Amino acid sequence: MKDNVLLSVKNLSVKFKTLDGMNTIIEGNSFDVKKGEVLCMVGESGCGKSLTSLAIMGLIEKPGIAKADEIMLDGEDISGYSEEALRKLRGNKMSMIFQEPLTSLNPLFTIGNQMDEVFRLHRKMDRAECRKNSIEMLRFVGIPAPESVYKRYPVALSGGMRQRVMIAMALSCRPKLLIADEPTTALDVTIQRQILNLMQSLRKELDTSIILITHDLSVVAEMADRVIVMYAGQIVEQADVRDLFKKPLHPYTEGLINSTIRLGEKCERLKTIPGTVPNNENMPKGCRFHPRCPFATDRCRNEQPQLINVEGREVRCFRYEGSEN
Amino acid sequence: MAGVQKEQEYLLDVRNLKVQFPVNSGLFGMQKQFLKAVDDISFQIREGETMGIVGESGCGKSTVGNTIIKLIEPAAGEIYFAGQNITKMSQHEFEKIRPQMQMVFQDPYSSLNPRKKVFDIIAEPYHVQTKLSKAEIKERVLEMMSLVGLDASYADRYPHEFSGGQRQRIGIARALALHPKLIICDEPVSALDVSIQAQILNLLKELQEKLGLTYIFIAHGLPTVQYISDRIAVMYLGKMMEIAEVDELFAHTMHPYTEGLLASIPIPDPEQRDIDEKPVLEGDLPNPLNLPKGCKFCSRCRYAKDICREQEPELREVTKGHFVCCHFPLQ
Amino acid sequence: MKKTKRFFKLLFRSSTGTAGVLIFLLVCIAAIFAEQLAPYDPNMMDLMNMTKPPAWMEGGSISHLLGTDNLGRDIFSRMLHGARVSLTVGFLATICSGIVGTILGLISGYFGGIVDHVIMRIADAFYAIPGILLALVTLMVVQSSGIGTLVIVIAAISWVQYARLIRAEVLRLKGKEFVRASRTIGASPWFIISHHIVPNVWPTFIVVSTMSVASSILTEASLSFLGVGIQSPLISWGGMLSDGRALLATHWWVATFPGIMITIAILGITFMGNWLRDVLDPHNKGL
């Protein structure tokens, strides 16, 4: 393993048991997260981006089953860890924030109560220390009057404030890896801007690696160092953010970028990707994107492309065969 | 008479509209408070035009749409549709006008009855409003389906067999069924995937060109609204903050809130992200039951002066067709 | 075809569901074909064969499989005929309370306001009095105890749960956008209720009804046991239980078999109800 890699996932699959047998949602995905980088996973609903993150955290619940050859986090392979061993890591070495700041906090306990919990669990601190650290964290994420917020209940806070609290909780133990699953989707634009700026500045200060999951390419463009584009459970492209926007290789990536509306730019018609995302019950044969792809050939209809290396990036498309390195 | 003429120029003329919701508080709900969801707004829409209404959650933009279509009764103000005052009409009288106004909803999952087939969903307006024969209804439903790009074979299927984008097409077909003049689109694409959003937006534009529709397009995302609209109205806490043509709004932003809103939107280009420091709108929306005195935006405005905290500004026309509600418009 | 296949697939996946449906079918068959299946006339007294034990016990014989009671009547035959009465009461009471409760629930939920208040306060009043007590007093006062009276009394105490559940369901559906959409095209309340609300309330109705059949059977058994329900010559499980109570110490089988029958039937129908609830849940993709 290279020194600068924090997380290395090899061949991760997630399956769900259904009435009609096993349903594979994610198939054989491998990727690395480098130390201190922001890796964005982008894709449309059902592409498996959220499940990937849950699988890393060991949070896939029955009837789902996650399997991986290896999940190396900071030098230890956590893929075979028991629930108890994983619990020690969660909130400590790796932590996660979710889309809905409203439902992620227990309405019956004060903010302070819920924040102290993290320190008590992982740092075995006493009450006074917990309180001191919690308030410190609240201040750290830019919450005004942290002492008073500490005593309040979640209902008394706005969506943006709750998301700040969630971030504070997630960062309490200075995790090496932070997974943010659509952290700003439920928020208003002006609040989204605040949270994105906050995450940028925290990242500079803490040197935490972030996996940011989003469907919004604009957020990707502002936040990411590297990008993984997912489609129908597979990684279809992996590249540096600037390369990706300058020259998208996969037709899906290109379609996504083209259909994003740019503010202040007038155009008669938007470029679209025709058709719809396939559902798991009738995944197309061959390349999963071929029914929507303008370049589809007979080969695409019958044979599944593999991820290949092109110019230091990865793409799952036959069109780049021969130019790999 | 000049007054009458002016009314007929516009398809929709909203004047000093106010909508309030009672909020019970105190023990046993003894104290009645009123939430001013829409507070004294006026705007006009010409036939064939698209008016975009943007704003953050709780700004009252959906309430405006629901009030125009008479799902909510206003507390004060008038709405003229094609020259007729619909606020004064009884529900019964309004029935005659209703087919001319339709709505496309946000959630393509809850806006279609899960136990009805696609055909029956689109046929419902005909059953309610017309006395057409079965064969005539069938013909029209199929016509509507092809208009919105749905295959005729889908007619016998149930909504759950479709993806969000196709469901939204079904919803649009239902809205078009009675050949309305005005369609109120209440966040029609915000629940859809990016690649599907573009499809639906294109469809709405095509339909407008083909059928000469007038749209009110309500959304929280400015990029979407600017693509489809001719004019944009920016709302904040029940008030219209700025109304202008799209190009004018971007070129000469006058309201500090619009400026903050524009700066908040992430730009889909990584090359631009480090170029300029963006003016972030600090703070949260104030509690709508406990609004600041004076300008409603003053608590978050970085240009706020003393007068802003004392006196509420009025919406006024600063340059031609550009309205702003601010004591000190930018530029 | 696909639907039937899916039905069985869903059924066999749940062991309690399978058991529930099987038991329910068996009880139904017993009730419908009681005459053909019963080896004896259930009311025929045979003084030569009084209190005979079940076949497998000493002194028992294969001719009276589950033994006889103190008047020499065949317990097995009586149980089959009892199933008929119990199911009839259970179903009729469910239909009556279902119709009344559902209509009131729909009105209450959809129109709200003062109508809702009145209906729900009446429901509260019914809920506050123990049902069995109300039934007991009513039956004692009217002094008539045919199946009809019993059905009405049981329905009167069980419509409340329909009204409440249906009302809650209507309130949920009323907030859905497809109801709003229907209002924007000018549909009348009646049209919305019949086209949008009722079809979506249907699964709830089915589930409540199954549970209601079970509870009605139990109420009937309790009332008959207390002596105010089904009277001779009609046979009911509760009545049999009551007959055998005095003999429990000496001839246990007279009361035990009808008792077991009540338990199994109720359990079976409840299992079926639980399974239906899971299957009809739209998150489960339904049938």
CA distance A59 to chain C (A): 21
Cα–Cα distance, B201 to B189 (Å, whole number): 8
Helix or strand run (H / E) with residue B203: helix B194-211
Tell me if A184 sits within 8 A of A219, measured CB to CB.
yes
Asked if residues B116 and B110 have their Cβ atoms less than 8 Å apart, the reply is no
| pLDDT confidence bin for A325, thresholds 50/70/90 | low
Residues in C touching A19 (Cβ below 8 Å): 6, 9-10, 13
The Cα of C20 is separated from the nearest Cα of chain A by a number of Å equal to: 20
> Which residues on chain B place their C-beta less than 8 Å from a C-beta of chain C?
69, 71, 95, 98-99, 101-103, 105-107, 110-116, 124-125, 127-129, 160, 171, 174, 177-178
What letter represents residue B49's amino acid?
E
Integer angstrom CA distances of residue B191 from B109, B204, B221, B294: 9, 16, 12, 35
Residue C204: the pLDDT is 86
List B232's β-bridge partners, or say none.
B52, B244
Residues of A in contact with B285 (CB under 8 A): 158, 188
Question: Hey, what are C11's tokens?
Answer: 């059924």
Token readout for B55 is 């704003």
Rounded to an integer, the average pLDDT of C203-217 is 90
Average pLDDT over residues B199-214: 94
The secondary structure of A152-186 as a DSSP string is S-GGGS-HHHHHHHHHHHHHTT--SEEEEESTTTT
How far is Cα A273 from Cα A287, in angstroms, rounded to an integer? 16
Q: How confident is the model at residue B31 (pLDDT cuts 50, 70, 90)?
A: low
Q: Is the dihedral of CA B193, B199, B205, B207 positive or negative?
A: negative
In this prediction, residue C281 has a pLDDT band, given cuts at 50, 70 and 90, of: low
Dihedral angle of Cα A130, A132, A137, A138, to the nearest 10 degrees: 110
Interface test with C, best of A17, A18, A19 (most C CBs within 10 A): A19
- Percent of chain A at pLDDT > 90 equals 49
Q: Give the Cα separation of C130 and C187 in Å (integer).
A: 42
DSSP character at residue A304: P
Q: Which of A282, A289, A228, A230 is nearest to A26 (CA)?
A: A230
Provide the pairing of β-strand B50-54 with B214-219.
parallel
Q: Is C136 helix (H, G, I), strand (E, B) or coil?
A: helix
- Could you tell me the two tokens for C176? 């859905």
Which residue do the tokens 């240009």 mark? B303
Render B132-167 in DSSP notation, one character per residue. Answer: --HHHHHHHHHHHHHHTT--GGGGGS-GGGS-HHHH
Query: Are the C-beta atoms of residues B281 and B260 closer than 8 Å to each other?
Result: yes
CA within 13 Å, CB half, A306: 6
Please, are residues A144 and A165 in contact by the beta-carbon 8 Å criterion? no
In the CATH scheme, what is the code of domain C2-41+63-284? 1.10.3720.10
**Cα–Cα distance measured from residue B137 to residue A57, given in angstroms and rounded to the nearest whole number:** 54
* Of the partner residues B105, B113, B171, the one whose CB lies closest to the CB of residue C196: B113
pLDDT at residue C175 tops 70: yes
Phi-psi region of A42 (alpha: psi -120 to 50; beta: other; left: phi over 0): beta
Interface TM-score (ipTM) > 0.90? no
pTM of the model: 0.85
Residue-wise pLDDT tens digits, B257-297: 999 999 888 888 888 876 656 667 888 878 777 787 889 99
The H or E element spanning position B116 is none
The better pLDDT of the pair C110, C7 is held by: C110
Instruction: Classify residue B100 as exposed, middle or buried by CB count within 10 Å of its CB (0-12, 13-18, 19+).
Output: middle
pLDDT tens column, A132-144? 999 999 998 888 8
| CA distance readout (Å), A124 to A119, A150, A268, B203, C269 | 6, 19, 61, 59, 52
Task: Concatenate the DSSP letters of all residues of A19-53 into one string.
Answer: TTEEEEEEEEEEEEEETT-EEEEE--TTSSHHHHH
Q: What is the share, in percent, of chain B residues with pLDDT greater than 70? A: 93
Chain C residue nearest residue A20, CA to CA: C9
Q: Is B32 on the interface with A (CB under 8 A)?
A: no
For the segment A31-49, the average pLDDT, to the nearest whole number, is: 91
Torsions phi, psi for B20 (to 5 deg): -125, 145
Q: Which residues pair with A64 in a beta bridge?
A: A16
C 116-145 near B (Cβ less than 8 A): none
Edge-first strand order for the sheet with B231-236 is: B101-104, B182-186, B214-219, B50-54, B231-236, B239-245, B322-324, B316-319
How far apart are alpha carbons B30 and B24 in whole angstroms? 7
* Distance of alpha carbon A189 from alpha carbon A198, whole angstroms: 14
Contact A149, A99 (CB under 8 A): no
> Is residue A272 within 8 Å of B202, Cβ to Cβ?
yes
The amino acid at residue B167 is R
| A42 vs A223: CA distance, rounded Å | 12
* pLDDT at residue number A7: 94
- Give the mean pLDDT of A295-323: 91
Rounded Cα gap, residues C103 and B303, in angstroms: 60
Length of chain A: 325
Residue B72 to chain C, least CA–CA distance (Å): 11
Nearest Cα to B188, choosing from B69, B72, B53? B53
Question: Are B194 and A266 within 8 A, CB to CB?
Answer: no
Give Cα separations from A103 to A61, A161, A214 (angstroms): 18, 13, 19
CA B251/CA B275 separation, integer angstroms? 19
Compute the distance between CA of residue A170 and CA of residue B37 in angstroms, rounded to an integer.
36
Q: Write down the pLDDT at residue B3.
A: 42
Q: Nearest chain B Cα to A273, which residue?
A: B195
**Taking CA atoms, what residue in B is nearest to C184?**
B102
Shortest distance between the Cα of B313 and any Cα of chain A, in A, equals 23
Q: What is the dihedral of CA C17, C23, C29, C32, to 10 degrees?
A: -100
Instruction: Sketch the domain layout of chain C as residue ranges.
Output: 2-41+63-284
Q: Are C236 and C221 in contact (CB under 8 A)?
A: yes
* Residue ranges in chain A assigned as alpha helix (H): 49-57, 83-89, 111-123, 127-140, 146-151, 159-171, 189-206, 217-223, 241-246, 251-259, 298-302
> CA angle at residue C196 from C192 to C201, to 5 degrees?
120
Selected residue of B54, B154, B170, B269 to mutate for chain A interface (largest A Cβ count, 10 A): B269
- Asked whether the beta carbons of A287 and A305 are under 8 A apart, the reply is yes
Neighbours of A36 (CB within 10 A): 16
Out of B113-122, C43-52, C236-245, pick the least confident. C43-52
Residues with Cβ within 8 Å of A210's Cβ and at least 6 positions away in sequence, in order, are A37, A38, A39, A177, A178, A179, A180, A199, A203
Q: How far is C51 from chain A (nearest CA, A)?
A: 52
Q: Is 80 exceeded by the pLDDT of residue C286?
A: no
Contact list in B for residue C169 (CB cut-off 8 A) is: none
For the ranges A242-251, A308-317, B275-284, C124-133, which has the lowest average pLDDT? B275-284
pLDDT of residue A4: 86
**Alpha-carbon gap, residue C17 to C23, rounded angstroms:** 10
Give the per-residue pLDDT at B1. 37
Lowest mean pLDDT among B276-285, C49-58, C178-187: B276-285
What is the DSSP secondary-structure string of C87-102?
A: HHHHHHHHHHHHHHHH
DSSP track, B252-321: T--SHHHHHHHHHSPPS-GGGTTTS------S-PPPTTSPPSSSTTTTT-TT--HHHHHS----EEEETT
Tokens encoding C177: 């956008």
Q: Are C59 and C52 in contact (CB under 8 A)?
A: yes
> What mean pLDDT is predicted for residues B221-235?
93
- Pull the structure tokens for residue B11: 């398809």
Residue A91: pLDDT above 50? Answer: yes
For chain B, count helices (H), then strands (E): 11, 12
Q: What is the DSSP string of B290-307?
A: SPPSSSTTTTT-TT--HH
pLDDT number for residue C60: 78
Distance from the Cα of A45 to chain C's closest Cα (Å) equals: 18
The pLDDT-based confidence of C282 (bands split at 50, 70, 90) is low
